[in-house]
Structure 1
Amino acid sequence: MSTSELSTGDRAAVGHFDFSRSEWARLRQSTPMTLTAEELTDLQGLNEELSVEEITEVYLPLSRLLNLYVVATQGLHHVANDFLGREPVKAPYVIGIAGSVAVGKSTTARVLRALLSRWENHPEVALVTTDGFLHPNAVLRERNLMDRKGFPESYDVRRLIRFLDEITSGGTEVEVPKYSHLVYDVLPDVEKIPTPDILIVEGLNVLQTWTGRTEDAPSVFVADFLDFTIYLDADHDLIRKWYVDRFLTLRRTAFRDPASYFRRYAELSVPDARRTALDIWDRINSPNLVRNIAPTRSRAHLVLQKGPDHRVDRVRLRKL
């Protein structure tokens, strides 16, 4: 593919391998399908049907590639430990997954966790989302940031970096803050996870290098701890549609829970709910995508380009 054939937004693709879906699917080779139909149903996201075709043509080749990377990295660790004459310390291979709200990050993370845990060299795969590293709502209100939740300045980046530093340094059990989408807030209790073979970190901010608060700026960034990064991409209008569709589905389901932070939206008519969703998108999610999330796409090792129905149409892999 020549430079002249690249779209305006993808000039950074020079230095990458660019695959059509069919070209990428051939790289699966003999990688077996290890997920059942029931598991696919459990893994799919809201308004996002996960087909066997999507798994076999997109995620099995990706699983094979990541397995090769993980095994190679494990080998390098063994070589380094032998050279230094020290006992091996278990450190996870860390995969970061970034992209907009409603683009399908959580589904991709769950699928990769399920597929990668089937490989014999790394059966222990943990998944952590950066939602738990948001500042609590009380802090966001104090800083007048409730309408900027998800923006770089709304995260406790130092806490996230401490977690990554501890778990990649061989910590046997590391604390992870918990987040509730029902109450839309960080919970007071934490979860302790043992060091896995692979750690998947999913969130809006995993490729960002700006915290939004100069006085809080760390000397290292989340991306410094990531061995491989994936960016989920789609046309802006598609993502907006997916966001609105998801909002309308939640209006009929989760928002009806009396404990839901968004309970007030459950009683909206369909036209009013659609207008509300578009307003939230235009005021919060779209500006965050344009200013803070999309500019990090070029930093990813691999980009999954989605078309309608969340179907991955192209794959771009950075050259080594």
Structure 2
Amino acid sequence: MPLNLCGTGVMVVIDGDLQFICDTVQPTASDQSSLVIADPTSDAVPSSKALQMGSKAVEDLIEASSGAHFSGFHLDNAEPGISQVEQTNTSTTENVKQPFVIGVAGGAASGKTTVCDMIIEQLHDQRVVLVNQDSFYHNLNTDELKRVYEYNFDHPDAFDTEQLLHIMERLKHFQAVDIPKYDLKSYKNDVFPARRVNPSDVIILEGILIFHDPRVRDLMNMKIFVDTDADVRLARRIRRDTVEKGRDIGTVLDQYSKFVKPAFDDFILPTKKYADIIIPRGGDNHVAIDLIVQHIRTKLGQHDLCKIYPNLYVIQSTFQIRGMHTLIRDSQTTKHDFVFYADRLIRLVVEHGLGHLPFTEKQVITPTGSVYTGVDFCKRLCGVSVIRSGESMENALRACCKGIKIGKILIHREGDNGQQLIYEKLPNDISDRHVLLLDPILGTGNSAVQAISLLIKKGVPESNIIFLNLISAPQGVHVVCKHFPRIKIVTSEIEIGLNKDYRVIPGIGEFGDRYFGTDDE
């Protein structure tokens, strides 16, 4: 899968009410999914006989008659006993800024360096750092130097992968590093002074075997494989090795047939399956380079966590949104104003979350007799609020989705060492639905993991869960996304972090107390 396509926003008004906004689909580097086109099955409208079967039939009638993803549910039901989730021990307030790491692999002389140079040129080199795998060849000892033409430089063991990992880890944590310069004539990396590399927004890691080790692959946000014809690669290799390495053509051809070609077939070509993007013809493919650069620019404009987790969505910040955040964060804001502006923000988050539901194309006839091609939304939807703060988001969800069923989960915090499930009431058919999980604050992430684990235990596919919240601490995002990489998180702002008391900062305070007017003051 190359790149996800960007969609467009769609606003639909049904019965005079705003029902849905289909937001832009963000392009991602590591997301292997593509735009999902679902075939939703509508709920059947019960007959008059079914109406005599009790409240469940009435609820089903409300749901079926209310249109796309609208239904009605109240609460009940409980099943204790979810295993204790991992407790995050991070209480730091430090920024978790992360660079965007691109891996560029391919056969020798395939055009990898040219592709990297073109990306750097378009992004401006002050924002990009290039790390070449060739810098991490092992030094050859005396015996190996005597038989240098028998040494396989295209084998994974020829590289010092541990040193490469150490360098990359430091760069990912925004620390300056010294990268060795490998001398291709003496086969030593201590002939020239090491190259000082400062941290940057984008790191490009280039080499023939950078996809071979899974530890190195895991560091990458985007993986590119440069695919060039074997004859072209051989011609380039002959020219390069005779000029740069002082070898004769016979030696180059002998080494190619003995080591290079077998190593490509055995080690390099199989890593092509790990690529997010495959570029035919290397640097000659200007269209592919332009698409990659556009994608990187999009990522650079996102919050750092969005570069790491493609399933994290932060609604676009505007002065209006910043103004509302300023009001609800102000400790002097009255309860009336707090509720008013919190509801406005929650509505925006809910609308954005609905934009990530699957849809199908649908044609309708307008009052003018014309045909309009639009979309039909997911009809199997429910909300689940995490009591008590999550209940503050229910009104916004009901305003967007008439008659929607809403379940509830109550998780008791036992200090900061764990959570205990106290109560749950979920729709009986929740496993067949897309679920909007409601909790305005994502702090440590432990309660969220507990709630999501319960939904999955009830049969809800992980990919069918959209977690909606107003603000998120980076620590909580890490915990949730690492436990459940296929759920989607939609939030309005990413916070600085957690303090020593595990409270989100700068934060909002105790959201439930402020919203429902139960604070001490």
TM-score category by the smaller chain? 0.5 to 0.7
- SS of the equivalent of 2:194 reads strand
Q: 1:190 to 1:242 in 2, by over 3 A?
A: closer
Matched with 1:161 is 165
- SS of the equivalent of 1:207 reads coil
4+ residue runs of structure 1 moved beyond 6 angstroms? Answer: none
Alpha-carbon deviations, 1:172-218, whole Å to 9, x = none? x1221222234443225422222111111111111002xxxxxxxxx
1:170-209 correspondence to structure 2 within 5 Å: 170-171=174-175, 173-187=176-190, 189-209=193-213
Matched with 1:228 is 222
2:225 and 2:118 map into 1 onto residues whose CA distance is 15
Report deviation, 1:304: 0.6
Q: 1:313 to 1:87 in 2, by over 3 A?
A: closer
Matched with 2:134 is 131
1:124 and 1:244 map into 2 onto residues whose CA distance is 34
- SS of the equivalent of 1:185 reads coil
2:111 and 2:127 map into 1 onto residues whose CA distance is 23
1:255-270 correspondence to structure 2 within 5 Å: 262=246, 265=247
1:124 and 1:95 map into 2 onto residues whose CA distance is 13
Alpha-carbon deviations, 1:49-84, whole Å to 9, x = none? xxxxxxxxxxxxxxxxxx9759xxxxxxxxxxxx97
- SS of the equivalent of 2:190 reads strand
Q: 1:240 to 1:117 in 2, by over 3 A?
A: same
Identity of aligned residues (%): 24
- For 1:293, which of 261, 264, 268 is the aligned residue? 268
Contact 1:93 1:197 in 2 (8 A): yes
One-letter amino acid of the structure 1 residue matched with residue 153 of structure 2: K
Contact 1:306 1:313 in 2 (8 A): no
Contact 2:137 2:160 in 1 (8 A): yes
Alpha-carbon deviations, 1:257-312, whole Å to 9, x = none? xxxxx3xx4xxxxxxx44332212111211111111011011011111128xx633
One-letter amino acid of the structure 2 residue matched with residue 228 of structure 1: M
- SS of the equivalent of 2:204 reads strand
Matched with 2:238 is 244
- Do residues 284 (structure 1) and 259 (structure 2) align? yes
Normalised to the residue count of structure 1, the TM-score between the two structures is 0.56
Q: 1:150 to 1:232 in 2, by over 3 A?
A: same
Larger radius of gyration: 2
Matched with 1:105 is 112
Alpha-carbon deviations, 1:101-130, whole Å to 9, x = none? 111111111111121227xxxx52111101
Contact 1:90 1:195 in 2 (8 A): no
Q: 1:182 to 1:274 in 2, by over 3 A?
A: closer
- Count of residues in Structure 1 that have an aligned counterpart in Structure 2: 210
2:160 and 2:169 map into 1 onto residues whose CA distance is 14
One-letter amino acid of the structure 1 residue matched with residue 183 of structure 2: S
| RMSD (Å), alpha carbons | 3.6
One-letter amino acid of the structure 2 residue matched with residue 100 of structure 1: G
Matched with 1:311 is 284
Gaps of 5+ in 2: 7-25, 30-89, 292-309, 311-521
- SS of the equivalent of 1:180 reads coil
Contact 1:306 1:314 in 2 (8 A): no
- SS of the equivalent of 2:257 reads helix
Alpha-carbon deviations, 1:81-100, whole Å to 9, x = none? xx977232443211111111
Report deviation, 1:224: 1.0
Matched with 2:296 is none
One-letter amino acid of the structure 1 residue matched with residue 284 of structure 2: R
Normalised to the residue count of structure 2, the TM-score between the two structures is 0.36
- SS of the equivalent of 1:226 reads coil
Contact 1:208 1:223 in 2 (8 A): yes
Q: 1:315 to 1:126 in 2, by over 3 A?
A: closer
One-letter amino acid of the structure 1 residue matched with residue 189 of structure 2: V
Q: 1:94 to 1:164 in 2, by over 3 A?
A: same
One-letter amino acid of the structure 1 residue matched with residue 217 of structure 2: A
2:137 and 2:228 map into 1 onto residues whose CA distance is 25
Alpha-carbon deviations, 1:149-180, whole Å to 9, x = none? 13101111111111111211232x12212222
Which structure features the higher share of helix residues?
1
RCO greater where, 1 or 2, for CA within 8 Å and sep 6 or more? 1
Matched with 1:3 is none
